Amino acid sequence: MSEPIEIPDVFPGVGDVSGKRVVITGAGRGLGELVAHAFSRAGAKAALVARTESDLKAVPDKLPGPTVVFPDDVRDADFNEAVADGTVAE
């Protein structure tokens, strides 16, 4: 397994995402986790999606903003509907 990605202290400016909901796939590690940090620090409410539940469950504790976690596979259409519904409900 590769080394964990290093999360920088500062991210480039993004558009105003304060209070917006974002769904981030692959959020359990690597680039997906990095994107989750960027959006969370910018004020977005992050819905985190990944297949590896153990990796995914560790991410919210590191984020400053509100999150909801959906461990499963995005190739499943029913799961995607559950992610959409759950993200809106939060």
Q: What is the pLDDT of residues 16-40, one digit of tens each?
A: 889 999 999 999 999 999 999 999 9
The CA-based dihedral angle spanning residues 15, 19, 25, 26, taken in that order and rounded to the nearest 10 degrees = 80
- Tell me, yes or no, whether 6 lies in a domain: no
Domain-embedded: residue 11: no
* 2, pLDDT greater than 90: no
3-state class (DSSP) for residue 39: helix
Contact status, residue 37 vs residue 62, Cβ threshold 8 Å: yes
In a domain, 34, yes or no: yes
Q: Answer whether residue 37 is part of any domain.
A: yes
Task: Give pLDDT tens digits for 51-78.
Answer: 999 999 999 999 999 999 999 999 999 9
Angstrom distances, CA of residue 81 to CA of 36, 45, 70, 72, 78: 20, 18, 11, 12, 5
How does residue 3 score in pLDDT terms, banded at 50, 70 and 90?
confident
What is the residue range of 46's domain? 21-89
Residue 30 lies in a domain: yes
Domains: count for the chain: 1
